[in-house]
Structure 1
Amino acid sequence: MTRTTTEAAPGFRGAGWALAALGVATLAVVAFTTPWRVLSAAPAVVPDPARDFTADQIARSEAFDAAVSVPAYLSLGLALVVAGALVSTPLGARLLGRLKGPWWLRALLGVLVLSVAVEILRWPLGMWSETHLRAYGLSTQDWLSWTADRVKNIGIRTTLLAIMVLAVVALARRYRRWWIPAAVGAFTLTVAVSFAYPVLIEPVFNDFTPMPAGQLRDDLLAMAARDGVSVEDVLVADASRRTTALNAYVSGFGATRRIVVYDTLLRAPVDEVELVVAHELGHAKTGDVLYGTIVGGLGAAFGACLLYLVISAGAVRRRTGVASPADPRAVGLIMGLLSLATILSGPAQNLVSRQIEARADAHALDLTGEPAVFVSMQRRLSVTNISDLSPDVIEYVLYASHPTAPQRIAMARSWALLNGMREP
């Protein structure tokens, strides 16, 4: 039977205890698995962009960052305004109250309507950003392929969001303490998506082919074997159809784990390509994707409990005009809370990610013993990708999932001194 009354939600205290337990568990996993100190007793080399990049390269980086930051900040501000309106006003409930049909259809239509409305507002900002990428030579797409990729991205995100929102409404209609199955479901969905992402989502945007037979492929597989990392193959993504940027990554775990290099990266010197792959082997060796998935799953379960507590609060229900999450009109409130949670958790995720990336850098240096090549590789990546060499504090906190290039180069020099080598 559907519950739509405004009485205090049952199990409020239980959800609070579960929230606390999941919070402690998440913090414990993060605290004990994050490499907070990558190099021990290493001489401190101060990051200095001017030491490795010319004045023109630094100026170009600053100009590019200034150009793309405006649409990025506007997009973030728009997301915050929309989410704030959905969680603090009856706007969402009034809009979705006009929808007709069974509850599940109204819930799905609510997700679709609000998602489309937000994406229409964000679309000009995306085009603005794309024009800057083209002006600086980073984008190789025409407007048709850019639109196709963006629509596919929106479709995937909206589908996942619809699954989550529909599950919350359905569980709230079926169970009084719906936070319990919601937390379990959130954890399970996070693990499932992480596992399936390489084989279901990535092929939507890129074609992947095994690296062609040859000396480079043999050397990379031999390096993986020497590192004790099981790698069936190294895949090449046709990234050049949309960008000139250089990159590589590892995704999935278990049977779906894969190391992928952009086809653009293959234009770099062989020793630099090997070092980039050595970095990715570091992620695979330490199980970073698996640990990240576990942390993400715990965070998702934490979020489900928090969602229950927030929606159960009388003040929130009064402001939004939503009596219960079992009401399809609550879709806007749920979407707003999910959006705020994603934005607010970003800085913490970036903090952990930067440490994990630094550990993978150290692993690459341990495996190859080539700090000079590492420095050369970081210069090439930074210049080609027009990386921000000295982001301000806000940008660093909000967007930096990796250490800056000067920080990574300084770490490589510290590694060299720590290992009795000449500072490159």
Structure 2
Amino acid sequence: MTPRWWAACALGVLVAGLVVYAAAAIPWHRPPAPRADQVAALGQLPADKVARAREFHSALRPASYGGMAVGLVAALLLGLTPLGSRLVTLVGRPFADHWIARAVLGGLVIVLVVEVLTLPFAAWRHTIVVRYGISTQGWGAWAVDLAKSYAVGAVLGGLALLGFFTVTRLAPRWWWAFGAAGAAALVVLLSFVLPVVVEPIFNKFTPMAAGPLRTELMQVAARDGVPVKDVLVADASRRTKAVNAYVSGFGPTRRIVVYDTMLTEATPDEVVSVAAHELGHAKRHDVLTGTIIGALGAAVSVIALYLLGSLGWLLRWAGVDAMGEPRAIALLLALVTLAGLAGGPVQALVSRRIEARADAHALELTRDPATFEAMQRRLGAVNLSDPDPPAWEYVMSASHPSTVERMAAARAYARGER
């Protein structure tokens, strides 16, 4: 049997495993929040705040979708024509066409071209969030955060490219097997490393001062059976007025993180309500679920890329000889971009189901639907969330239930219906 046959078999097994695991781990069948309650909730929200939120999202859409379209077109032009392979070759030429220069520097330059083309749209989005009072950053601070993001991406991307093309070079017929295992392992590693190593690059975290709120948060976590090492406050106010809280890390590194903006905008009970939602993610091991799905998806992607290398017309379009050579980096980027676009609605659906389950957990843990609803109202108002977004946008990209869905869920819980 040929390596390609083995790859096809492995792909089938991994896809089946991914489907079975997702079917078992994702709460697909949670009943939707009653539509009548959603309509009633929307009617009770301040009309001026609803209008402002919708105006904000209308202003954002051209920049957001324009940037997405330009990024997609750039990736396709570089990947499905010889432009990308020629650019990689050009980058490697000053280094005697060494494969490492092509693999790492060539890959980073391909990504940089796309980032530069979409940069004006990112700047456009920044002007909008500043105009509507969401961002507190000036251009200097915004540029510094952007540079940090590029630097982190360059380090992680460079290491991933080096590892991938080392494998394709050492095992040209079986790189799909080693690459799939390496991609899955990388996803697992980053799930542990990113919260501890990368988060502090963008925010400063300080322990929450001793007091009733900290005590109550730790008690709620203990009552929920979720071990938490600490309660930290993130200095989010230096870049945004948005409010949020989350639970980060695994095991001994797990901590509750609260934005400093939330401490000034929300009541203590509302902070506890949001923390209870985040504890629901930890209780149900949602980060682990996402890591396993991500690892399986990464392995599937590597094998699928290997099998696509048998399509001679695709390689000819890209001007390359094989999928595993550094000159094919742009083609890989184009295919990954297309896959991400196609899979976006599925990822959004999975996220919404998981978030809805965490909402239900918060209601059960606190047994305070009134505070939960008040907190959703506040989150929507401060963060300028569209309380009832257009159906097409909701399906394409909404990672959380809408504000009116979450308010309706609280009302249904209060009636004992959920």
Kept after mapping to 2: 8 A contact 1:84/1:336: yes
Say whether 1:199 aligns with 2:196.
yes
Shift of 1:10: 5.0
* Paired position in structure 2 for 1:346: 344
Partners of 2:2 and 2:160 in 1: CA distance: 22
* Paired position in structure 1 for 2:111: 115
Say whether 1:265 aligns with 2:256.
no
Partners of 2:397 and 2:391 in 1: CA distance: 10
* Paired position in structure 1 for 2:38: 47
* Paired position in structure 2 for 1:181: 178
Please list the CA deviations of residues 173-230 of structure 1 after superposition, one character each: whole Å capped at 9, or x if unmatched: 1111110000100110000001111111100000111111001000111111111111
* Paired position in structure 2 for 1:226: 223
Shift of 1:274: 0.7
Kept after mapping to 1: 8 A contact 2:243/2:382: yes
Decide which moves more: 92-101 or 67-76.
92-101
Kept after mapping to 1: 8 A contact 2:34/2:408: no
Instruction: Select 1:171's aligned residue among 167, 173, 182.
Output: 167
Partners of 2:34 and 2:401 in 1: CA distance: 18
Partners of 2:347 and 2:116 in 1: CA distance: 28
* Paired position in structure 1 for 2:150: 154
Shift of 1:39: 5.8
RMSD (CA atoms): 1.8
Partners of 2:59 and 2:66 in 1: CA distance: 12
Map 1:274-353 onto structure 2 (within 5 A): 274-353=272-351
TM-score (norm 1): 0.93
Partners of 2:306 and 2:148 in 1: CA distance: 31
Kept after mapping to 2: 8 A contact 1:172/1:325: no
Runs of 4 or more, structure 1, over 3 Å off, are 37-40, 42-46
Shift of 1:326: 4.0
Partners of 2:369 and 2:274 in 1: CA distance: 12
Q: 1:213 to 1:23 in 2, by over 3 A?
A: same
Partners of 2:2 and 2:77 in 1: CA distance: 27
% same residue: 47
Partners of 2:36 and 2:143 in 1: CA distance: 44
Shift of 1:146: 0.3
* Paired position in structure 1 for 2:365: 367
Which amino acid is the alignment partner of residue 52 of structure 2?
Answer: R
State the secondary structure of the residue aligned to 2:309.
Answer: helix
Kept after mapping to 1: 8 A contact 2:276/2:361: yes
Higher relative contact order (CA 8 A, sep 6+): 1
Map 1:32-111 onto structure 2 (within 5 A): 32-38=24-30, 45-48=36-39, 50-98=42-90, 99-100=92-93, 101=95, 102-111=98-107
* Paired position in structure 1 for 2:124: 128
Shift of 1:12: 1.4
State the secondary structure of the residue aligned to 1:243.
Answer: coil
State the secondary structure of the residue aligned to 2:258.
Answer: strand
Partners of 1:282 and 1:93 in 2: CA distance: 47
Shift of 1:43: 6.6
Which amino acid is the alignment partner of residue 285 of structure 1?
Answer: K
TM-score (norm 2): 0.94
Decide which moves more: 93-102 or 187-196.
93-102
Partners of 1:149 and 1:343 in 2: CA distance: 25
* Paired position in structure 2 for 1:407: 405
Shift of 1:318: 1.3
Say whether 1:143 aligns with 2:172.
no
Q: 1:331 to 1:187 in 2, by over 3 A?
A: same
Which amino acid is the alignment partner of residue 371 of structure 1?
Answer: P
Kept after mapping to 1: 8 A contact 2:34/2:409: no
Kept after mapping to 2: 8 A contact 1:47/1:410: yes
Q: 1:44 to 1:415 in 2, by over 3 A?
A: farther
State the secondary structure of the residue aligned to 2:128.
Answer: helix
Q: 1:51 to 1:412 in 2, by over 3 A?
A: same
Partners of 1:257 and 1:311 in 2: CA distance: 42
Partners of 1:88 and 1:156 in 2: CA distance: 27
Please list the CA deviations of residues 356-410 of structure 1 after superposition, one character each: whole Å capped at 9, or x if unmatched: 1011111110011111111111000000000022222332123210000001111
Partners of 2:140 and 2:169 in 1: CA distance: 43
Say whether 1:248 aligns with 2:240.
no
Uncovered stretches (5+) of structure 1, i.e. residues with no partner? 1-8
Q: 1:258 to 1:273 in 2, by over 3 A?
A: same
Which amino acid is the alignment partner of residue 93 of structure 1?
Answer: S
Q: How many residues align?
A: 411
Kept after mapping to 2: 8 A contact 1:165/1:335: no
Say whether 1:20 aligns with 2:12.
yes
Decide which moves more: 100-109 or 372-381.
100-109
Shift of 1:87: 3.2
Q: 1:315 to 1:255 in 2, by over 3 A?
A: farther
State the secondary structure of the residue aligned to 1:312.
Answer: coil
Partners of 2:80 and 2:110 in 1: CA distance: 16
Kept after mapping to 2: 8 A contact 1:250/1:257: yes
Q: 1:327 to 1:35 in 2, by over 3 A?
A: closer
Q: 1:234 to 1:34 in 2, by over 3 A?
A: same
Partners of 1:367 and 1:70 in 2: CA distance: 41
Which amino acid is the alignment partner of residue 259 of structure 2?
Answer: Y
